[in-house]
Chains A and B, each alone.
Chain A
Amino acid sequence: MLIKRVAILLTLLSTGLQAEEAATITIRKGEATSVSLKTLGGADGAAATKVLENDLNLSGWFSITPPERATYSIAGTAAGGSLQGQVADQRGSMVLQKTYSGDPRTAAHRFADDIVETLTGHKGIASTKIAFVSTRTGRKEIYTADYDGANVKQITNDGSISVAPAISPNGSKLAYTGYQSGYADIYLVDLATGSRNRIIKFPGTNSGAAFSPDGGRIACSLSKDGNPELYVVGANGSGARRLTSTRGVESSPTWSPDGSQIIYSSDERGGPQLFKIGAGGGSGQLISTGYGYCTEPSWSPDGRRVAFTVRTGGFSIAVKDLQSGATSVLAAGEDPAWGASSRHLIFSTGSSIVLLDALNGRQVPIITGLGKVTEPTWSR
């Protein structure tokens, strides 16, 4: 323990962190629920089991053990576009029994999410999608993928600069900032049909779309009134309503779970800092973090924490607990986004998108080898 603390301390000092307190990650091994996983039967059983096992691992809630030591045992069959899943307790009583249709990967993800929800009460992340920017083609274009990095799909083929993606709460739409007009405009893509509309195209720069939790509104930065300020606009681009009036630069809005408040970054007091404002207006209130450069906030779906980028020499991912007020630095990287679990974050290291378990500190690269990958966002 001493060695570990000293190591963390040295790391903190060497990277020149300006933390208000030591960033320690508590690993609570005892909290994992032990489950056994029997290879699923049927033609697609092996493929589905592989996906399921990875999902259970990445969820962080479970340790996979032999059946005799497991609190719950997982079994099932997958064949012909259907997966039948079962979870039994130690006495053999079924706690979950459900049939999922769809390809083995999709069905396994949904089974995994049900296992997480049934056994832990928490929301799963296995069926979620991520979006990010990649320079793979030589231009910045928007891509989507499953949360585990599978099924990478190129969404834009603009050949200009396409950045700052956001996925709508129900996963059906994607908003992004595109430069096809020569100016920065906000576009809306229907992910099912691929149809695309330029929905926000005021004079100046329109960027940084963030969907409200009900999907009906978009918060973003617009400069039409002579300064980059925060606005809330209808999700179809109508009725822009201005929230801030500062001399500074407002950017990267993120919504509270109930849609009543917005946290954003503003440099009105010098270096960029986090502020909170009512979604209907009001005055921005500083959220102090102890860091001089704070950008790209993401409000956790449970409302309890905000993740953001801090400058610490390089850039790092920090999380502030909004109740206790404590801020800790979790990893080196930029632009964090919370997943539905409020436990996991994705962020960019530049060469990869990393999935971070904020509870146990585990980092898993999920997107690599696609050039420079930045600005990840995550459906919930």
Chain B
Amino acid sequence: METMKKLFTLGVVALLVLTLNSCKKKEGNQFAGMDGDYVSGTPLPDRIDGANFFSGNVTRGQFSPVQFGYDSTSVSDTELMKVEQVATAMKSMKNTVIIAGFTDERGTEEYNRGLGEKRAQAVRESLISMGVSGGRIQTVSFGKEMPADPGSGEAAWALNRRAEFGVVK
């Protein structure tokens, strides 16, 4: 029995070490501020009556979706180029854009709703930092609902961790 206990303790310690090593801090995003003095993102404008991400008066698919790493809300440098295209387009038009955040099927339900919203907000902050007014950008999260690829596996999950753009006509 004692031997079993010792073996088990060893196992637990090994697992803990592995866990701690793999538990890297989330990378910083585009927000200003240091740890501890972060106050807020940029408040959202009022919704536009009669327009939402899936309504007929919203054009989806005009811009490439921004992809994210697993459990991450950081917009990587390569993905930032997609956001720049949206920023450039938004500067030459007056339309409002709705950003919809999505997650892969892993992760629990309500946390994924928050994660999807945070992804949409991270892209919104990127647009704001590129000079687009926050007053023209709405966000919504669908969590793990409506995957881009209904399959399971790394390829599908990577596609599903995304923020999509909808342009209100």
Contact = CB atoms under 8 A, between A and B. Distances in A.
Contact of A18 (B16, B45, B117, B121): B16
Interface string A178-192: 010111100000000
Nearest to B26: A270
A234 to B, nearest CB: 21
A251 B111 contact: yes
Contacts of A267: 26, 71, 111, 115
A51 to B, nearest CB: 32
A93 to B, nearest CB: 48
B47 A295 contact: no
Contacts of B108: 295-296, 309, 315, 334-335
Contacts of B33: 247
Interface in B79-117: 107-111, 113-117
Nearest to B19: A18
Given A183-B140, A270-B25, A271-B71, A295 B53 contact: no
B4 to A, nearest CB: 7
Contacts of A140: 145
Interface string B17-30: 00100111110010
B53 A182 contact: yes
B20 to A, nearest CB: 9
A245 B140 contact: no
B155 interface: no
A267 B33 CA distance: 17
Contacts of B139: 203-205, 223
B130 interface: no
Interface stretch (B36-44, B59-67, B156-164): B36-44
Given A2-B1, A17-B15, A247-B31, A226 B42 contact: yes
A20 B12 contact: yes
Interface in A189-210: 201-205, 207-208
A94 interface: no
A5 B118 contact: no
A318 to B, nearest CB: 13
Contacts of A246: 38
Contacts of A250: 114
B23 A183 contact: no
B150 interface: no
A370 interface: no
Given A250-B114, A269-B25, A163 B12 contact: no
B137 to A, nearest CB: 10
Contacts of B145: 140, 161
A13 B46 CA distance: 51
A22 interface: yes
A224 interface: yes
A271 B71 CA distance: 8
B83 to A, nearest CB: 16
A203 B121 CA distance: 12
A249 B45 contact: no
Nearest to A269: B25
A77 interface: no
B118 A249 contact: yes
A250 B110 CA distance: 10
A339 interface: no
Contacts of B45: 203
14 contacts: A6-B4, A18-B15, A22-B12, A164-B109, A181-B52, A182-B51, A182-B52, A182-B54, A246-B38, A249-B73, A252-B110, A252-B111, A290-B16, A295-B107
Interface of A: 2, 5-6, 9, 12-13, 16-22, 140, 161, 163-164, 177, 179, 181-184, 201-205, 207-208, 221, 223-228, 245-252, 265, 267, 269-272, 290, 292, 295-296, 309, 315, 334-335, 374-375
Interface of B: 1, 4, 8, 11-12, 15-16, 19, 22-26, 29, 31, 33, 38-47, 51-55, 71, 73, 107-111, 113-118, 121, 124-125, 134, 138-142, 145
